[in-house]
A and B are shown apart, each in its own frame.
Chain A
């Protein structure tokens, strides 16, 4: 893990309320693995004081991207950054997705902004020559912010929107069984709202291995403060460094 002053290379508004920040750091770009995160100081303010954790969304040569959904003061600050600004960042942190095992076909399940680390994972799976399918849900078509990026990376995207403006209408979890049958995967990787993760975990229990990326409020982000724990079969574990990716069977929902 490093602590760097990363320069903002670009800040692109993807859709209303979602920004893609490209940050320059060769250390983080080189070391980051899909599912790991960076811990970002959102300005030198004294009002909201904690860093914010964000999954690494993609890496390039010498830089990496974060996909930021604007929800509060910290993310508003990030959304207003301009090229050339500097950010205090710690990372890469945590245990990412385990994707080197013996499997053929994976299904990646993304709810909303939970797509961020799964694009990175899909790219690595493609490099490894794996067959990868994607179940992607959001409230509206606009919320499917990575649909175009994914089209070149995975075999097929099964899209679901709550308002029916694109793909199937309803909640992603209502279509999980259908997508599972269609693609017949032997690995599941999921990131999104906790309720979605719980349902995906329950649907896959005892069938195929499923890994979930959890999100928690964090303070230190490096395993010291014990603020971000989740309940597992081995007791409370730290989402920051024991996760954020866990085997779904470990989690007590």
Chain B
């Protein structure tokens, strides 16, 4: 029997495979074609205080081995989430981690407090969305601002706090240290990489917002590098993500130092990608003679 279970600062998961925020909504759509109860955890799409309309379309472009998106945090607001989505997700008996976004510190605190009171299993602070004019990446690319928002939210909640880092910085370890010093229990990385495409017939950007966030296999080496760097710099558990499509990709992140991993863009190709990765990880460990997932975390010989 291979032990795939992991503990992320008190969030106990039966396996290390989560679905990444923004790619899985609140699970309802996927529940029709995949078994959510087998996942390590679900991370919801970002929730804000009030309903948000999101960005003008077009919101997506396909790029080599990836996609560029700019959804703009469209969601129905925290009240609606608590009323409609949380009870639904609770039915699957897996940890529910809620991604939180805001325009300012007050909004991050208000949403996180509501979620903590509702006893979600964890709050993931989205200080790394590249597609909004206020909040998001503005916080995540400034070490002082990261510390301020993390420390304010940490004081307001009683559940584990995950901080999702942006790769759009010169030194990600500086942001990681700042978040951990301010109280982050877990770090997740990476969010999308800012990119742009241009339609060479129409001379127009591919996205209405001009720039967007790149995800998918195209960014995987960037993500693995950053997870490895952050794992050297801080002591807290890391959730690694960025272009994971199959089990071997997940193993790369674990070897780099991630305790858990999240599957994002691959859900669009294969709604059962996360489940196949769970099976694949078990097979990988068995094949190599390991008995638990923890035995390979951080074991890259670099």
The listed residue (A41, A225, A230) touching B71 by CB distance below 8 A is: A225
* Contact between chains at B59 and A227 (CB < 8 Å): yes
Complex CA gap A90/B217 in Å reads 22
Given A41-B269, A223-B29, 17 more A-B residue pairs with CB atoms under 8 Å apart are A3-B33, A48-B64, A49-B65, A49-B216, A88-B270, A90-B271, A220-B268, A222-B30, A223-B25, A224-B23, A225-B23, A225-B25, A225-B71, A227-B69, A228-B59, A229-B59, A231-B56
| Chain B: number of interface residues, binned into ranges | 20 to 34
The reply to whether B60 and A227 contact each other, CB–CB distance below 8 Å, is yes
Number of A-B contacts (CB under 8 A): 96
A230 smallest CB distance to B (angstroms): 7
C-alpha spacing A165/B69, complex, angstroms: 42
Produce 1/0 per residue, A23-46, CB < 8 A to B: 000000000000000000100001
Q: Contact flags (1/0) for A216-243 with B, using CB distance below 8 Å?
A: 1111111111111111000110000100
Asked if A86 lies at the interface with its beta carbon under 8 angstroms from chain B, I say: no
Per the bound structure, the CA–CA distance linking A51 and B269 in Å amounts to 6
What is the distance, in angstroms, from B126's C-beta to the closest C-beta of chain A?
15
Q: Is the interface of A mostly helix, strand, loop or mixed?
A: loop
21 contacts between A and B (CB under 8 A): A1-B33, A2-B33, A3-B272, A46-B65, A46-B217, A46-B245, A49-B67, A49-B268, A51-B269, A90-B271, A218-B60, A219-B265, A224-B24, A224-B30, A225-B23, A225-B268, A226-B59, A227-B71, A228-B59, A229-B59, A230-B57
**B53 interface residue (CB < 8 Å to A):** yes
**Is there contact, CB below 8 Å, between B268 and A228?**
no
Interface set, chain A 196-253, CB cutoff 8 A to B: 216-231, 235-236, 241
CB atoms of B23 and A50 under 8 A apart: no
**In the complex, chain B residues whose CB is within 8 Å of the CB of A2:** 33
B158 at the interface (CB under 8 A from A): no
Q: Which residues in B have their C-beta under 8 angstroms from that of A218? A: 60
0 or 1 for each of B38-82: is its CB under 8 Å from A? (1 = yes): 000000000000000110111111101111010100100000000
